[in-house]
Amino acid sequence: MKQDRTLFKLILDLVEHKTALLFWYFIRLLSALLPLYTIYLFAQAIRLLEQNAETRRLLNQILLILLVRFIDNLSRLLSIHCLEYYIQQTELSIHQFLVFNLKTRPKAERHQTVQAIRNFAEAVRTTLFMIRQPGLDGLVSFVTVPVILYFLDFKVFVLNLAYMIIYYAVDVFTTERYARLKNIQNSHNEAYYAQLQDSNDIKKQRHAFLFHLQKLCRWGFIEWNLLQNTAVFFYVLILSYLLYSVHFGQKQISDLVLIMGYVSTTQVFLNNISSIKDCLADSKVALSRLSQSKSASVDFSDLT
């Protein structure tokens, strides 16, 4: 966690227009709240049907849902496209800062270091894009959904909390191995592009690149398979409990729709958090390799 905070601080230091970037991230954060409200409005519409409410009340509910969705689209799309400009600008700022500190060395070594700089800048850009969407959606859901479920149904809250804890434990384990494999892959990535710029004979570097990429992809499958199957198990468990409650008259269908709507967002935001963790791992690995480069006068502690 400390390294993650340090990395974020470093990234912010390299952003030219911090106020604009943070402002549009804030707008994106507000827009991430609206889908959760839409779930509630949808469940309320189902409840009105159960109560045989007047047509006027149903129409008002539909118009409210329509208005919320329009505001959601406007704020989300505007913030996403404004953030794209500032994030791309940040990537170029990283290039400028790190190349300025680059020492003169033999071409092959310089090529390898430039590729390390590109790897880091691209990892930062990907991380910022992931935070923009779907990361902020995941953060909002991570904070609000457990609170909502606590008041809706305590048993579902306990099951959902157990799901989040188990999922996170699996994620921590799998991300650590992912980071080790990514570090090896980055080293071969640098060697491949350095050789590509100086020679037509890239067979050896290509073979090593693809061999380690295959190992990384295999672990990616194992990682996400474990995470998704954890999600499926708890989803079915909670759904079974709610179906039982509806069947015996303890809950209404609108309750099932409302609770499962929020439970479904749990898998989405946990997947988002996992993706961000992988992106952060990419950034830390890339920065670590850059700081170890012989050609670049870059050190993690110096930068932070």
pLDDT tens figures, 228-249: 899 999 999 999 999 999 999 8
- State yes or no: pLDDT of 187 exceeds 70: yes
Q: Is the dihedral of CA 156, 161, 162, 167 positive or negative?
A: positive
Q: Read off the pLDDT band of 58 (50, 70, 90).
A: very high
Mean pLDDT of the region 68-82: 93
In the chain, what is the greatest distance between 2 CA atoms, to the nearest angstrom?
79
Is residue 193 within 8 Å of 115, Cβ to Cβ? Answer: yes
With H, G, I as helix, E, B as strand and everything else as coil, classify residue 102. Answer: strand
Residue 82 pLDDT exceeds 50: yes
Closest CA to 197 of 106, 91, 263: 106
pLDDT in tens, 84-105: 999 988 888 888 877 776 665 6
What is the CATH T-level fold of the domain 2-303, as seen in this structure?
A: ABC transporter transmembrane region fold (1.20.1560)
Average pLDDT, the chain: 84
Q: Which two tokens mark 35?
A: 């889908």
Using alpha carbons only, give the angle 264, 158, 142 rounded to the nearest 5 degrees. 50
Residue ranges per domain, the chain?
2-303
The pLDDT assigned to 298 comes to 52
| Whole-angstrom distance, CA of residue 15 vs CA of residue 143 | 27
pTM above 0.75, yes or no: no
Question: What mean pLDDT comes out for the span 56-75?
Answer: 94
Residues 171 and 96: their CA atoms lie apart, in Å, by 34
Across 125-145, average pLDDT: 83
Residue 63: the pLDDT is 96
- For the chain, what percent of residues have pLDDT higher than 90? 33
* Percent of residues, the chain, with pLDDT higher than 70: 91
pLDDT band at 304; cut points 50, 70, 90:
very low
Q: Mean pLDDT over residues 153-178, rounded?
A: 91
Q: Report pLDDT for 300.
A: 47
Task: Return the higher-pLDDT residue of 61 and 276.
Answer: 61
CA dihedral 174, 180, 186, 189 (to 10 degrees): -90
CB of 94 closer than 8 Å to CB of 128:
no
